[in-house]
Amino acid sequence: MNSKIFAAIFCFCFFPVLATAETGDPISLETNLIDIPTAEVLDRYQAAFITRAYEHGTVMETIDFGVYPRINLGMSLAVHELLGSSGSVRVLNPDFLAKWKIYDGNLYLPAIAIGYDGRRYGYGYNNKRKYTRTKKYLDDRKGGYLSLSREIIVPGLNASAGVNMSDFDFEEVYMFTGVYYTIMEKVGLLAEWDNVRNIRDSRFNLGARFYLHPSLALDAAVRRIGRGKESERILQIRYVSNF
């Protein structure tokens, strides 16, 4: 691994240490569930650092910034087979993220956001969904999306739903929906149905979010439930701070 790649990984992993979190910084703005985006955004001058460990020893670091009111910009970088004893560690191409909350919602209407999510998961799978160390991905990027979110039925139960087009292909429009329920501000239960266009391509994910601190949460989830060898377990750390 050359010095430039090592420097990039170092910056992504340790940049959160340079940001200071004040006591009580809100982490309740759930900008994402497991894979699907909600209509919530970070406040201006707020940043979120998400580190995800998932299949084949891959680690992905995502950084989101509240650069303007209602507008978030971010990027992610993944290192394939970083964990474990593999000798073929590979730094994948960085991906871009953006979100604009265009409506806050009211008593009757949900909050609305539009955005772009370039992250992809399942590196190294071929067209037959088998892991063969190719340069293809099992899950396409979400691409451009529209997301709606609001609290429903009981306090603490929030729902999100929307549509997305990977690479802005208007002939392939997918849907997504999900809910999360927070219990005593300590644990959040997550459920989502993503990439919905047909049953084979859709993904059902379940997880839990443990709030370790007002600015720090740990996610544990299972993705692609019911898909045999394609199912995977993930761990994810989410840290919110100011800059």
Distance from C-alpha of 58 to C-alpha of 54, rounded to nearest angstrom:
5
What are the pLDDT digits (tens) for 40-98? 999 989 999 999 999 999 999 999 999 999 999 999 999 999 998 787 899 999 999 99
**Parallel, antiparallel or unpaired: strands 187-196 and 203-213:** antiparallel
Number of domains in the chain: 1
What are the pLDDT digits (tens) for 114-171? 999 999 999 999 888 898 888 999 999 999 999 999 998 888 899 999 999 987 766 7
Please say whether the beta carbons of 240 and 47 come within 8 A.
yes
Query: Would you state the pLDDT for residue 17?
Result: 42
**Parallel, antiparallel or unpaired: strands 71-80 and 46-54:** unpaired
What are the pLDDT digits (tens) for 27-38? 556 899 999 999
Distance from C-alpha of 167 to C-alpha of 188, rounded to nearest angstrom:
31
Measured in residues, the chain has a length of 243
Query: Would you state the pLDDT for residue 30?
Result: 85
Query: Would you state the pLDDT for residue 27?
Result: 52
Distance from C-alpha of 225 to C-alpha of 231, rounded to nearest angstrom:
6
Stated as kind and residue range, the H or E segment containing 7 is helix 3-18
Please say whether the beta carbons of 77 and 92 come within 8 A.
yes
Query: Would you state the pLDDT for residue 20?
Result: 46
Distance from C-alpha of 32 to C-alpha of 37, rounded to nearest angstrom:
4
Distance from C-alpha of 78 to C-alpha of 45, rounded to nearest angstrom:
25
**Parallel, antiparallel or unpaired: strands 232-242 and 216-223:** antiparallel
Query: Would you state the pLDDT for residue 29?
Result: 61
230 has pLDDT over 60: yes
Q: Which two tokens stand for residue 103?
A: 């409506």
Domain span holding position 126: 3-242
What's the CATH number where 130 sits?
2.40.160.40
Which residues lie across from 1 on neighbouring strands? none
Average pLDDT, stretch 172-180?
94
